[in-house]
Each structure stands twice: as structure tokens, then as C-alpha cells.
Structure 1
Amino acid sequence: MGHRIALACLDFLDDEPEVHVAAAAEAGFDAVTLRVAGSREPVAADLGRDEHRRGRVLAALRSTGLGVLDVEVLRLSTHLSLAEVSGAIELAAELGTRHLVVVNAGLAPAEAVDRLAAIVEEAAPAGVLPCLEPMVFTRCRTLTEAIDLAVPAGAGVLVDALHLHRSGGSVAEVAAALETHGDALFPYLQLCDAPLAAPEGGTEALRAEALAARLLPGTGELDLTGLLAALPGRAVSVEAPTATTRAMAPLDRARAAWAAVTAVDCPQQTSTAKEAS
């Protein structure tokens, strides 16, 4: 059985998105993830800020046949506008993806549940599921905290291998949550690698690692095989911006990511079969 493998946009934010799409297709990926909102500063990949860019990436998706696994990112805060939410949902639907990444940037838990539930309700008619991603440098730090917000709101939870480990989570915790809450809570996952030891420097060092100093799958010490086994059958997004690939051309970065993920010792990573979006 084939499993979708997507190339995440985090390592391609400085490239026009059609370049990212073309590189992913040539390297062998089945899909990409795309930035549609939430950029703290202007980046070339943000589709939400350029209508012409949207047209170019849609053309690239059609010509390559690639799907879109998710779009990102809505940051829950008092500054998140209704227009930004609506725009992200509209773009997700236009791009044909089922998943919209959400992080809790600054809301208290009760307020975050209400806001997330409202986004879930707005996204449902478009066939889009908001998925909450826990990160240690946000107001939703752990898998448990994400589940406590997502379940009452009707959202999914996006497990990222790095964030799970850095928050003190484990593969066993994921497996237990899956048994308790069911398959639908974890629709897909993000894969990268890292040393077991966290970088020194606290929250800012953890943020810097997540943005630009991860490792390619299979080149670190995280239990990626165990994580994939705990969430069988899921699509995988390779989100692994690394110091070693930063200076590479987009196609070379994509090829390095593809070689790494397909070398991970798990059957789901050896198929290049493409599934419908």
C-alpha cells in the first residue's frame, strides 16, 4: 500500500512556491505543504500575499500532478483576524488540501478551545480539518495539551517528531492517545531527526533548532521507526531544514530529503505510489 510523502515548505520559504513544487516533483515526492498565512515577515513562499503567486503555484501543481498535504499556518492570538482565517480556509480549499495547520501563539486554554472550535466550524463546509501542532515555544507545548484543546474543538493534532521529543513526549504516549481517541485525531505526521540532547540556550535555542537546525530523517537519534509504527498508514511530511542543506539549490535540497526519508527503515517510506488528495 502506498503512502503519500510530502515535502514541507519550511525549508523553501525563501523560494517561490512553484520552484518548491517543481523540485519536490522531480525529487520523487507525492505532495508538498504550502504557506498561505501566518508569516511574521514577508517570505517568497507566502501565497496569501500575492494573487499572481497563487496562479503560478496552481499551474505548477497541475503540470506536475502533485497534491498538497497541508497549508500553514494560523496562529491563535488576540491579533488573528477573521479575514486571515477565512483567507487561509479559502486557499486550502482552492489548493485541494484537507489539512490546515494551527498553533496556539498566545491564548489561554479556554479561549484557545473556543477560537479553534470556531475555525473548525468555518472550515468544515470546505472539507478542511484544522490540525493543532504542539511546540515547546508556544502556549500549547505538549501532546497532552494539544489533545486537551483539539478534542473539545473537533480539530486534529499534528505530531512532529522533533516537537514531540523536545516536549518530553514519547512514541508510547502517541500510541496511547491513538487508542484512547481514535485514528481521526492524528491524520498525518511530520518527520525530521535530531540529537536526543536539546540545544543549550532555552526557548530561543529550541525555536532556532526547529526553524533551521533539524536533521534529515535517519541521520539523528529520534525513534522515527517507532513513531511511524505508532501511526501506521499516515501521510508523512518531511519537515527538515538543516544547516548542511541550507546553501543547496532547491532541487538538491529536495533530493537530499527524499533520499533520507526513503532510507528510513519502515515499509511506508519505500513506496512512491501516489494517492489522491
Structure 2
Amino acid sequence: MTARHLPSTITMQCFEAAARHMSFTRAADELSITQSAISKQVAQLEAYLQHKLFRRVRRTLVLTPEGALYLTEVRKILARIEMSANAIMSYSGQGEVLRVACLPTFGARWLARQLPDFLNANPHIDLSVSDHVEPFDLDQAGIDVAVFHGHGRWPKLECHKLFDEEVVAVGAPDYLARRQPTSAADLAECRLLHLSTRPDAWHRWFADQGITTERSYHGTRFETFQMLIRTAMSGGGLALVPRFFVDTELAEGRLSLAWPHVLKGPDAYYLVHPEHLGELVRVRRFVTHVLTCAEVDAPAGASC
């Protein structure tokens, strides 16, 4: 492998501190080195990048446009280094870390309540849980296990079906009282809220009832169901959501069904992992636990 002459961590720290304080002197005090050392590190960095990072305006230090751009990247790099160091320092030789990615609202509404029993039964396994709204390359992202929604066929992934979903149209009681829809078609005249990863959801809901409307793709879009639901609860419009995401809100009267029709599609929720990780004990234990939970704690109306 060819050696790469990259800026050192201390060089990036010197630049970041100088940019944050807009002072070489205060940066030097923070890092417990001399002001001349800060100046030398910044000069070497500018020579390497072939761009000036600072300039002086009326004796005041300011970032150049190139310096401001580089500062954003340097802060990301230093934050990642700090996170990696903290992960290693907190790692005990007696434990393992399982990296899990999940759809945000699914994680908050269903998966989260399944985790305590897993952690209690596997005290040597720590979880690192992150949000992802769409399918992605698990190997490239360094993820062991993920929850996807879709057709259940993704290359190089072993897919375990959790359950189907029933999608319903909901809105705030006050909003529905004002609109007073008397048919499913009337909903097309309401403000429709959309999930960005399911742009055709309303179109399919109407089509499933033989209704054609030009407004099924119109409306505000959200990245997560969580914000979609909150906006509907606040009277912002009607939302199409998996029923188990809003069972509590429906029971408590904070949301109401806008129309009783239930949409059942071909897609489902799947627990997935790279095929080559299937024999890892931590992966196998997590998969077994979640699949068992899906059988025992499946949402009403969902089938495994």
C-alpha cells in the first residue's frame, strides 16, 4: 500500500481550536502548547492544502471560504475519532457490541419494548442502535442487523419476516369534524400528508377502493412516520400510517379513523443481516429473540 502523507490529528486539532477561538494564542492555551507551535501547524496545513485558511482583517483573525469549508470536514473527522476512541475505551474484553439499524418509528413504537428482555438475557452483549429510513448496504455501514420494510428480497442479505401491516387513514378529531367526509373520495379534498419513502401510498389507498383522483400525490412530505403522526395529531391533515403505530392515539382519542378502509399491501417488516454474519452468536441470539417477540407481540391484524 502506498504511504499517504496526510495531515496529522494534532495539526487538525490546532486548526480547529484556532478557528473556534479565532485566536492562535487562546488555541495554544487550550492545547497547552506555544502560540508559535499553533502558527507552525496551521502554516504546514495551508502548504499541504495549497489554500490559505485564515486571513487578518483589521488585526482580527477570520476564516477564508476555504478555511470555513475545511473546518466543517475537520470537525466531522475529529468527532469520529473521539467516538471511536470512546468505544474502545468503554469496551470490556468480556463483552460484544451488536450494531442494529432500524426504521425510526418502528424502533420507537415496537422494537424498543423488546430490547430490555434481550439485554437482561444477554448481559455480555451491548447494543449500538441507529436510525435508517431506507434499505442500505449493511456491510458498508458496519451494521450487523437491521429492520427493513419492503418485499423481503435484498441481495446478500438473509431476511426474516416479522409481520405484515394494516395501513389506515387517520386525522385529528377536530380536523375531521370540520371536514366531515361522507365517503372515501371526500378524503382527496383534504390536506394529505405523505411519507417520503412511500410517495404512492395515498394513490394505492384510493385505487384499492376503485377511486381515481389527481390529488393522491399532492401534499406535504415527511421523512419519518413519527413527524407525520404528530402533524396529523395537531390538525395538519390526514395521514396514512400502519395501524399499530397509532393504536394508543386512537384508543385515547387523540386521532380518529378518517375512513374505515384498511390497506393491506405486499410489503412487510423484515429483520435482515448479511448472509456471512448468520453464524455469529450475537446475531443469532438477537434474531431468535426478535422473531419470538414478533410471534408473541405481533400488532393486531398483522400476520407473521
TM-score range normalised by the length of the shorter chain: under 0.3
Report the structure, 1 or 2, having the larger strand content: 2
In our comparison, the structure showing a higher alpha carbon Rg is 2
